[in-house]
Structure 1
Amino acid sequence: MDRYMYGVGIAVLRPLLLMLICIGPHQAVALATQAALDTAIEQHMAPYAEFKHIQISNYTSDQTNIGSITAMVQDTKGFLWVGGENGLARYDGHNVLLYRADNHNSIAGNYVQSLAVDERYVWVATVTGISRFDLNSGVFTNISSATNTLPSNDVTSITRYKNWIFAGTTEGLSVLDADTLKQQTPAFIRKLPALIHIRYVYVYGDELWLGTSHLGLIRVNLLTDEVSYYSPDPKDPKAIAHQDVRGIYSPDGVHYWLASLGGGLILFDSIQKKFTQYAAHASADKPFVTNDVWGVFGDSKGYIWVGTDSAGLWRVNLKTQKIEGYIHDSSVPASIDSNKARLAFEDKDHNIWVGSFSGTLNYYYRGFDQIKHFRKRNRFHKGLNDNAILSIHPAQNGLYWVGTEGGLDLLDPHQGSVTSFSADTGATLKANPVLALETDSQGYLWVGTWGGGVQRYNPKNGQWLSLMNHPDPTKRISNAYIWALKDDGKGNLWVGTQKRGLFKLHLATGNIKHYPFNAMDAGGIVGEFVRDITLDKHGNVWVASLHGLSRYRPESDDFDITTHDPNNTNSLSSNQLIAITAHSNGDMWFASRSSGISVYSPSTKTYRHLSVKEGLPSPAVSCIVEDTLGDVWAGTPSGLVRISADFSQVHVYRQANGLAGSNYNRNACYVDPQGQVWAGSKEGLSIFEPVILEQTQKASHTVLSGLRINYSQAQANTYWQTQTQLPQALHYQQNSVSFEFSLNQFHLPQFNEYRYRLQGFDTAWQNINRGNSAIYTNLDPGQYTFEVKGKSANGQWGDTTTAIRFSINPPPWRQWWAYLLYASFITVAFAAYRNYMAVRARSLVYQQLSQQDQLTELPNRLALNHRIDDWLKAGKSFSVIIIDLDFFKKINDTYGHEAGDVILKAFAKIAQSEIRDCDLLGRWGGEEFLVLCDSSNLGTVKNIAERIQKNVAMQSFLYYHQTIELTISAGCAVRELEENFTELFHRADQALYFAKEGGRNCVMAA
């Protein structure tokens, strides 16, 4: 035993000694600490979760952040409030309202330390006092120690109990009346120390809990005013382990989880009066990764979330006490952004938000946790060789073979890859892309690759055999590109190739027969490019190729050929077949790469066809498979489609519905014996119960999030209830009004849709697919009602409509007394007025037409030049962005000029939605556009250009069922002192040139 322990000691110390010798003691300690953390992480990593990173600075006009995130709450309307070291932000998924102490009607101090919310108010604790935001009026009320209501302005934590507000400060506790803000003095206040540094205040039931910096934990019974202290005591093993308590949470009023900076995570049993410490130096059965715990929070699914100062985000399963964690990994884009993940918060839809020291919001959408995703493996998750899934095939013991663009994996659908093969890992695969998989009656796995031919793998001894390099020429399939493999159950393996047609391998003898392309009298098939092989319920072999369909006739050892007849609708819709499936009802389904799906009924000898007009998102269909309910799942480049056998139901699912991707590969669809659908896309593998995707989420109630009158800044107090009126009628000159609205659902908010109308102006509902605002200009005096409703990215239209009523007063000359004055000459005055308005209208129309591009309806070069002249005369500093549509001539040449016009108009709408009200977008000529930006900040200008570039790149434009991809390049420059426009334009044009030379689809700044 001694020798054993000595050996273990040497094994542990050797790397440490080497580090000390090579890099010095300080670096060695840091590396050893990181190594220990890495080991703990490997043991306790949580199931894969994708975190979306939200930068508040991307939504503010000056690109400023709120600093390290310190607090989060969600109000009754669904808005997310985020406090930081440099302000307070209200986020709705589309926009941010930023509050800072130097603004009118704003918070008391920029350093926000805590937030609380009730039905009417948002409470903000700052280092310079408390701010109360009224959700009805939009008005802040600020209080400080100057009003003798706070013992200190440094308010560290705040919470509400009935009509009291408990405010913890660095010098004691304050109790305020929530309505009057007057200080209250319950009896227990006199029992607390005079100067107590409170870190956290928490209420459960009728008990108040105080976390302090030097006294540990304090408990107050609010019914009896009894005060209990729990401080560290080295002599008492049940005592609290550390005096600094920064967070408190209880799921049941008995067990309290405490965050301690220096003492780790602590669990307090309030009945047994026992503290259990989870820390780096705690007992072996209660380990934790760090002692520096910053915050603790419990969710609705039975987890305690723990924010740390340097070791990421961790969670404790209350049922199993299992500890799992999420940390930052630069190789995993969807990991949390920083290991300083200090606090977590659960919103009303049960999704998790993580605030980090970096100021980034991390968002974890839990709506599709029941859908398993497998992507390329990384440090912490046993993923696959590659994101692009090419084939799926069952193995033994509940495992599955998954072929990817990067190799072959044996996948445990619960844990991840068990075994992995690639062309880079020895004498296994000859090529990485695995397009086809099949198992024969002897248990051998047959692997069809792109570039490595057909290979056989023996799972029992791990040996590989290549048929492309077989020593016996009569048993060699020399083609390197294999698309399909099928065991016919009669001792034969059918092999479909690229350019070499079909082969039949007799498994017992190894003999091979070749069926070449179009050798009809020699038993050949139709097409040398074979894409799929399947068996129908009678055991017949069907072969799909890019030239038609072949069915094997064993009695004559040849094929029946079926092809598309353009003059007969009762035929295949296309010869370019990609996939086949035999339905349990006897029908044969054929997927093509250009004409949707054809279904053949052998009983009636008739075809039915499904294309884009019947609901397919794309004419190209890459894989089809039947599930246990008789529905057919079809993978396309634009989503996964569920089709009922009679075509009565066609539903399309994409990433918004929880899938790993929306672009599906051939042969990458599968249904397992449990009825789960396996959908392999170019972005990863999804495994799910079919019913999961049917659980669509209805849109919640749409709320109004902002109002602009005559293009003023958004009013922060625009927080109306449904069916309420403005406090007063608008002046007749306040006749331009814009509304902002939101669903306050944060999963893919860019895909939210809205409908709105202004009763008294609109005759029909207006639809908006991008953006969340409506603008009305030059409204006539009268009564109006604005209505809006929304649909979430993966849901349905909301049942209710949000409405606000308002009126615009008529001008003085249209008041009742004015009409009395005009009565004597009403006829003459009315006629003169009509003539004047008609002439004025014609003049405005002509002026507008002369400065408007007729195709895009944007300002033309003349209008842009007028704005440039005005700004130059005023000595204004401004910027320009020159935008050029990449390869636009190719679009015109390929699809026609009408398609080009469609693209130009679509781009104009996208770009217009991304610029500010103070900027001007116009068509400079051809496919070139110009944005005049009222800003001298190059970062702001470049951000505008990048928003346009990214929004365009993520769109797919449809022209007569043809998908057209578009990107743009842009160059931007800020006007220098005394610089004329020609010089400014030349510098921006040079930046555009470098963007083009740099590969296009990017933005460059001069």
Structure 2
Amino acid sequence: MSFCLRGVVLGMMVLALGRCGFGLDPSRSLNQYGRQVWGTDNGLPQNTVHAVVQGRDGYVWLGTDDGLVRFDGSAFKVYTTENAPELRSNSVQGLTVDREGRLWVVTAGGLAVYGENRFLALGLADGLPDAAVWFVHEDRRRRVWVATGGGLCVVRGVRCEVVAATKGLSVSGEGKFAEAVDGSVWVADGAEAVRLDGGSLGWVETLKTVGGAEILVESVGSDGALLVGTGEGLQMERRGVLAPVVMDGVVGRVAVNAMVRAADGSVWLGTSGGLVKGSGERFGVFRPAVALPSVAVQTLFADRAGAVWVGTASGVARVVGGRLEVFQAGDGLAGSSLLSLLEDREGNVWLGTESDGLTVLHEQKFTTYTTAEGLSGNVVRSVLEDVSGSVWVGTDGAGLNRRTAEGFAAMTVREGLSSNVILSLASDNGDLWVGTPTGLNRVRGRTVKVLTTADGLADDFIRSLLVDAKGDVWVGTRHGLTRISGNGMTTYTSMDGLGSDFIGVMVQARDGDLWIGTSGGLTRLHEGRFTNFKVRDGVAKNVVTAIYEDADGTLWLGSNGGGLSRMDVHKGNGVIVPVPATNLPEAISSVLEDGERRLWIGSRGGVFRVAESELERVIARGGGSVALAAYDTTDGMRVRECSSGGHPAAMRMRDGTLWFATLRGVSVVDPEHLDENGVAPLVAMETVLVNDVAHDALRTGELTLGPGRQRVEFQYAGMSFVAPQKVRYRYKLEGFDREWVDAGEHRSAFYSNLQPGRYVFHVEAANNDGVWSEQDAVLRLRVRPHFWQTWWFYGVLVLVVAGIAYLIYAWRVRRVEALYAGVMEERSRIAREIHDTLAQGIVSISLQLEVVTRLMGSSVEAARAQLDETRVLVRQSLADARSSIWDLRSEEAEELPVRVGRSLKMLTGTSSATGRLTVMGSYRAIARPVEDELLRITQEAVTNAVRHSGCSLVEVTLTYDLKGVRLVVRDDGRGFDTSAAGPAGHFGLRGMRERAAKIHARLEMRSEVGSGTEIFVELNLG
């Protein structure tokens, strides 16, 4: 497979992806890049990577023999014929991303295209001239070409149109197709090279080549000349004529397998006989100091930084500025035989191998030197830049290393050191002081002198060293502090005022004071006197492991288990305040400061960078977290744990770089040139799960859920491949969340019991340097309501409530009206009862009294008897009045005829009229209230007859039959004209009509002048 044009394709693809990184720093060696190897052991379905491309959405796509793979930096999603039958085969041979973002997939079974989250298969029915597809290419006019066993075709929409001039040609590789700068298209077939017009795609000319045309590149001359690589060498086309090109140093005929144009304009050829470089029309074999992994070059690629990558069957090489560097399986490459290569939008380089998976190379902030770079050992205890500018690295068991132009030069016991375990380093003018577990070594030139307790040292185990401003050497041991001066050696212990005899770290401040970290706290030596600071004085822990004086003279103290403390030496004897930051490490081995007033802290958990202003803020606030940057293996450290127990464990060099001793090499960072990843990551929705069931909502960007309690999980990915482990996320469900939710490194968001409505889910991603995505991924969500949660239901409910309220109101109004009507009816009833009972009784009493008056003159006894009757009548009238007014009922149930007869007798007994009661039919019991009304009607009618008609006979007839009851009250009085009768001014006739209506009876009155009056009441009980 050839990569001559793949650089052009990748360049166009990268431009389509938006902002891009600058690529890998060519000044670093290949083994100093971060690298990640992916294979079947950690997610790849199969280890043969035929193709690797990056889509516009940021995903990296891999073609393997066991499916198409989509990779987001952390997880692989595999598409096979089972979940994507459009692929036709699981063996993916080639991949191309066009400028519309579609992914063209060439498989052993045909062609498929992926776009808008779905696959579409293209075959013979869609216009392909042959089922065998070799490759897909997008030209400068954005036309998509498909090379098949039956010729070339151009895709228009979803149809393939065969280019007539190529019909029958077998374009079996991408190296047999090329575009020239004038837009013309060249197609190679066997020993012929066919040239097509770039616009009309018509035939222009056919040229014969030597050895079979393999690949064509853009013009190399002002006259539009083209280079043609063949199976037997290099030729140049000019004005329709092909001529051989001489390649200096090439012996015999060689096949040109690949071509690429570098950033400087030079053309590189990969041949079966080696690597060839050319400019203009001059070409010659490239002969670096380091040999290629294999003579035969298979692939070539030029990255954005100007480096040329060379793929062979035995490994990869990179050419930078005339220097070649080899990268093979033993150096961290997944495998030796390279099949595919990609430079992604961040500048990472992806290397797909034939049988060993995928290797990703990425830029790192730290450069780590290990045995691979020449160190004598990987466990580093101390690092020092001496007064002459030389850098020294002390290892644990492998001796002392000096940095050289070529790497490192080691000094061990063979050169005179007392031990290969280097614990501490210091230097003065001309001497290097080396502390070991077996004594102090003074290195002067090539001479080593060892000092021990026999020479006056407190102990042979030298933990720390310091050369002060006077040139005196201070030696920290486990049994005290020894000072070496022109006067000899002097040892100080806790008996002399030291906080402890176990000395860990020493620093001389700019004011000349000596600060000593011990296992018993912090000690200051000022003008010959020791002052101790312990936990009670503000030190976080008594075991002080790091001391650093910043630009303001403030001391920053690191402890073993207590974190960081700040000491203001300008206040009294010094005020120490622990830094109450919750996210700072507790076990600190070193503290440094860069030129931007930021502290760099070495610890067991890695290296941390924090601004001093952040520390001051958290101290003033009394606690909380600080904004910091954490560095570990993803940033170039080979192991995150920094070394402890040595001195200095870290050092800021004159050039501003910071060196940290670690348990696997010495890690170096330049704070002024951190190579920040400024490429904003792309972020995409991956899956939406509802109650743990995946839903296909990505194509439409919207998901509709039914009513009820449901659990929704949004899964997303941010595509940043420099340090995928450090990609962070934040999300917000618009309509639910008021603020963005910091998800950290979690790639899922969960919601449950969402109320009906419309929501919009947003997610953003930040890369390893905190650059947030410029555009968030969005998914719209609609939760349908239950019918009782809909607006129309609420409307109906409002109407129902309003109706109920109205009914309650109307009921209350009717109740009030009924109460009022009841009161009025009661008043009317009382009035009627008074009229019918009390008034009638008074009339009877009045008549009785008139009789008494007439009898008084004739017979006292008769008058007395009449008064007795009158008294009985009064009592009876009062009883009837009370009973009527209070609607009281007698305990004894009397029949209506009996009651009517008694009333008739009472009302006519004192008048000249005679009363007669006739009952026809069998008595029929009816409701007592109904009988009461009939009785009152009878009483009213009889009273009117007695008082007003002048009658001699009042006849009452009660008739009972099957239909009901008929009451007739008839007198033989004077009668009256009913048509001329007006309101009587009393309740007589009107009261009778009201009572009849109350019991639903029919009342009629018939009267004529001189013929009496008849009241007829008919009550139908049927």
| Normalised-by-shorter TM-score class | 0.5 to 0.7
TM-superposed CA distance for 1:739, in Å, is 2.1
Q: Provide the TM-score with structure 1 as the length reference.
A: 0.65
C-alpha distance in 1, partners of 2:569/2:126? 88
C-alpha distance in 2, partners of 1:362/1:626? 36
CA contact (8 A) 2:711 2:751 kept: yes
1:182 aligns with 2:160: yes
- Aligned letter for 2:591? I
- Aligned letter for 2:324? I
Alignment of structure 1 residues 636-655 onto 2, 5 Å: 636-642=603-609, 647-648=615-616, 651-655=628-632
1:564 aligns with 2:541: no
Aligned to 1:166: 145
C-alpha distance in 2, partners of 1:130/1:345? 22
C-alpha distance in 2, partners of 1:84/1:689? 40
Aligned to 1:312: 315
- Aligned letter for 1:389? V
C-alpha distance in 2, partners of 1:295/1:734? 57
Alignment of structure 1 residues 189-338 onto 2, 5 Å: 189=166, 194-200=169-175, 201-203=177-179, 205-207=181-183, 215=191, 222=198, 225=204, 229=209, 230=228, 231-232=230-231, 236=244, 238=246, 247-251=258-262, 255-260=266-271, 262-267=272-277, 272=281, 276-277=284-285, 288-309=292-313, 311-317=314-320, 320-329=321-330, 335-338=332-335
What's the secondary structure of 1:785's corresponding residue?
A: strand
User: Do the aligned partners of residues 491 and 142 (structure 1) sit closer, same or farther apart at CA in structure 2, a change above 3 Å counting?
Assistant: closer
What's the secondary structure of 2:360's corresponding residue?
A: strand
C-alpha distance in 2, partners of 1:823/1:494? 90
1:593 aligns with 2:560: yes
Over residues 794-839 of structure 1, what are the superposed CA-to-partner deviations in whole Å (9 max), with x where a residue is unaligned?
324445433221323345787789999999999999xxxxxxxxxx
Over residues 672-701 of structure 1, what are the superposed CA-to-partner deviations in whole Å (9 max), with x where a residue is unaligned?
112222222334322232133494647524
- Aligned letter for 1:315? R
1:708 aligns with 2:673: no
TM-superposed CA distance for 1:363, in Å, is 1.1
CA contact (8 A) 2:643 2:649 kept: yes
Aligned to 2:39: 55
Over residues 131-156 of structure 1, what are the superposed CA-to-partner deviations in whole Å (9 max), with x where a residue is unaligned?
1111x2x2222223465523451424
C-alpha distance in 2, partners of 1:730/1:654? 43
CA contact (8 A) 1:221 1:227 kept: no
Aligned to 2:460: 480
CA contact (8 A) 2:638 2:664 kept: yes
- Aligned letter for 1:69? V
The alignment of Structure 1 onto Structure 2 pairs a total of residues equal to 726
One of 377, 380, 388 as aligned partner of 2:379: 388
- Aligned letter for 1:388? V
Identity across matched positions, percent: 22
Aligned to 2:367: 372
CA contact (8 A) 2:87 2:121 kept: yes
Tell which structure's C-alpha radius of gyration is larger: 2
CA RMSD of aligned residues (A): 3.9
User: Do the aligned partners of residues 202 and 253 (structure 1) sit closer, same or farther apart at CA in structure 2, a change above 3 Å counting?
Assistant: farther
Which stretch shows the higher mean deviation, 628-637 or 244-253? Answer: 244-253
Alignment of structure 1 residues 126-137 onto 2, 5 Å: 126-134=107-115, 136=116
CA contact (8 A) 1:144 1:153 kept: no
Aligned to 2:452: 468
- Aligned letter for 2:358? L
Aligned to 1:124: 105
Q: Give the structure, 1 or 2, with the largest relative contact order (CA under 8 Å, sep 6 or more).
A: 2
Aligned to 2:359: 362
Q: Which runs of 5+ in 1 are unaligned?
A: 1-43, 830-1006
User: Do the aligned partners of residues 781 and 106 (structure 1) sit closer, same or farther apart at CA in structure 2, a change above 3 Å counting?
Assistant: farther
Aligned to 1:677: 658
C-alpha distance in 2, partners of 1:197/1:641? 54
- Aligned letter for 2:163? T
1:543 aligns with 2:516: yes
Over residues 374-403 of structure 1, what are the superposed CA-to-partner deviations in whole Å (9 max), with x where a residue is unaligned?
12x13xx32x23333321112476431111
- Aligned letter for 2:666? L
Which stretch shows the higher mean deviation, 343-352 or 236-245? Answer: 236-245
TM-superposed CA distance for 1:349, in Å, is 0.6
Q: Provide the TM-score with structure 2 as the length reference.
A: 0.64
User: Do the aligned partners of residues 641 and 165 (structure 1) sit closer, same or farther apart at CA in structure 2, a change above 3 Å counting?
Assistant: closer
Over residues 211-257 of structure 1, what are the superposed CA-to-partner deviations in whole Å (9 max), with x where a residue is unaligned?
96965987766359456553355794527987766555434696554
- Aligned letter for 1:550? T
TM-superposed CA distance for 1:606, in Å, is 6.0
What's the secondary structure of 1:519's corresponding residue?
A: helix
One of 528, 546, 553 as aligned partner of 1:579: 546
C-alpha distance in 2, partners of 1:106/1:686? 50
What's the secondary structure of 1:391's corresponding residue?
A: strand
1:635 aligns with 2:611: no
C-alpha distance in 2, partners of 1:286/1:747? 29
- Aligned letter for 1:96? F
User: Do the aligned partners of residues 90 and 196 (structure 1) sit closer, same or farther apart at CA in structure 2, a change above 3 Å counting?
Assistant: closer
CA contact (8 A) 1:197 1:214 kept: no
C-alpha distance in 2, partners of 1:778/1:389? 56
- Aligned letter for 1:530? I
C-alpha distance in 1, partners of 2:298/2:801? 76
What's the secondary structure of 1:619's corresponding residue?
A: coil
CA contact (8 A) 1:548 1:564 kept: yes
Q: Which runs of 5+ in 2 are unaligned?
A: 1-27, 210-227, 234-242, 618-625, 805-1022
Alignment of structure 1 residues 433-512 onto 2, 5 Å: 433-441=421-429, 443-449=430-436, 451-458=437-444, 460-461=445-446, 463-468=447-452, 473=454, 475-477=455-457, 479-498=459-478, 500-506=479-485, 511-512=488-489
Aligned to 1:665: 643
One of 384, 388, 399 as aligned partner of 2:390: 399
CA contact (8 A) 1:750 1:771 kept: no
C-alpha distance in 1, partners of 2:377/2:428? 26
Aligned to 1:903: none
User: Do the aligned partners of residues 214 and 468 (structure 1) sit closer, same or farther apart at CA in structure 2, a change above 3 Å counting?
Assistant: farther
One of 485, 491, 497 as aligned partner of 1:514: 491
- Aligned letter for 2:294? T
Aligned to 1:850: none
What's the secondary structure of 1:788's corresponding residue?
A: strand
User: Do the aligned partners of residues 47 and 751 (structure 1) sit closer, same or farther apart at CA in structure 2, a change above 3 Å counting?
Assistant: closer
Over residues 404-458 of structure 1, what are the superposed CA-to-partner deviations in whole Å (9 max), with x where a residue is unaligned?
22334434376431x11345xx3633333322111233x2221112x32212223
1:81 aligns with 2:84: no
CA contact (8 A) 2:288 2:322 kept: no
1:72 aligns with 2:69: no
User: Do the aligned partners of residues 157 and 578 (structure 1) sit closer, same or farther apart at CA in structure 2, a change above 3 Å counting?
Assistant: same
CA contact (8 A) 1:53 1:360 kept: yes
What's the secondary structure of 1:746's corresponding residue?
A: coil
TM-superposed CA distance for 1:305, in Å, is 1.7
What's the secondary structure of 2:720's corresponding residue?
A: coil
What's the secondary structure of 2:153's corresponding residue?
A: strand
User: Do the aligned partners of residues 92 and 446 (structure 1) sit closer, same or farther apart at CA in structure 2, a change above 3 Å counting?
Assistant: same
1:155 aligns with 2:130: no
TM-superposed CA distance for 1:194, in Å, is 3.2
CA contact (8 A) 1:598 1:609 kept: yes
TM-superposed CA distance for 1:308, in Å, is 2.0
Aligned to 1:742: 717
CA contact (8 A) 1:436 1:483 kept: yes
TM-superposed CA distance for 1:348, in Å, is 0.6
CA contact (8 A) 1:211 1:245 kept: no
User: Do the aligned partners of residues 597 and 708 (structure 1) sit closer, same or farther apart at CA in structure 2, a change above 3 Å counting?
Assistant: closer
User: Do the aligned partners of residues 284 and 293 (structure 1) sit closer, same or farther apart at CA in structure 2, a change above 3 Å counting?
Assistant: closer
